[in-house]
Amino acid sequence: MTPRERILTAMRGQQPDHVPACPDLYEMVPVRLTGRTTWDVLVYNDPPIWKARMDSHVHYGTDAFIPLFVPMTERHKMSVLFRNEEKLIIREFVENDDGVEWSPFARIFERVPPHARVEADTLDLDTTSLREIVKPDYARYGRDYFEDARDYAGDRGVVAPVVRLPCIDHRASSTYRYYDERETVLEEMQRAGEAMICQAEEILSWRPDVLMIANSGLMIFNPEPVFRQLSLEWLKRVTALAKSKGVLTHLHCCGPERKLVEIAAQETDLSSIEPVEAPPMGDCDLADIKKRFGQKMAFKGNLHTTDVMLFGSVATVEEACKRAIDAAGPGGGFILSTGDQTPRDTPDENILAMQRVAETYGRY
């Protein structure tokens, strides 16, 4: 099987030739491997992050699953607020008939990853400066952006365009507004959900293999009653829409996820979910969720990113891979991965060990 075939077979709940090994190589490791600064890749698209992700999987010989946040139009621009040899700070904005509309966030990039997103008004800077507008090295949008990434990946992996569910985000102010201005927030979430469905319809017209739904820490900031009020309707709608088009859906929700697995399996058409993290970072017992919900969806995860991948020995990684395969591999429907993004300084030998165990111990 090709890596693409292997991943899609597992996401359909079926049995490929062996368990796919798809470590979450989101930004930190790919940027490190380019030898470029963080802002070269993530601000100036030199190279675009999807290329760096694919190249990193080729480097390790792993099966590539590439989440793709697709810039749908060129309306969103970036302004440089601060720059020196070690740091770049930018803020996104759009220009409309009323003038300039600024993102509430600024992004701080150090020379090496990771980077940070902070509320712009907390910075001691002129945060509405238009003196320097970012001109990316690579600038494509919408379907062209997706097609470039899919063509580059080819049969070496799966490129999954991303949409996001309406929900409360990580800011404390968002939680306060939900309780203090409930009706206003509900109206905003309704509009956000409708916009997400419109975006999903456009993406599905491109016929991707997988539509990814990415909401990091969803259940941390949206406990079950809030999730049901703000997000569940839209998860039902977008997974049903994709299913009607013959497209798989895959959900990323790091942190506590056990209840979300149950809800998604019983109440939606979701195909697969990640990263089903083990305690203490998450609350998933991989063997338990496979036994209870493995007939309804596939799973991708769940090696501990720090104790196992970053600080563990090769033997530690091998043992953890075998335990995960024993827990969720039988019958298919499992992709061996990390419990969220692989840390920047993870030893190469540990990533290589994942692939080696998947090809040998994980062979069906």
* pLDDT-derived band at 76, boundaries 50, 70, 90: confident
In this prediction, residue 96 carries a pLDDT of 86
What's domain 3-74+137-360's architecture? Answer: Alpha-Beta Barrel (3.20)
Under a CB-based contact definition with an 8 Å cutoff, are residues 22 and 336 in contact? yes
pLDDT exceeds cutoff 90 at 73: no
Q: Cβ neighbours of residue 177 under 8 Å, at least 6 residues apart?
A: 184, 185
Q: Is this model's pTM higher than 0.85 or not? A: yes
Alpha carbons 161 and 149: distance in angstroms, whole number: 10
* pLDDT-derived band at 145, boundaries 50, 70, 90: very high
- Domain parsing of the chain, residue ranges: 3-74+137-360, 77-122
φ/ψ (deg, to 5) at 17? -65, -35
* pLDDT-derived band at 323, boundaries 50, 70, 90: very high
In this prediction, residue 98 carries a pLDDT of 84
HEC letters along 37-49:
CHHHHHCCCCCCH
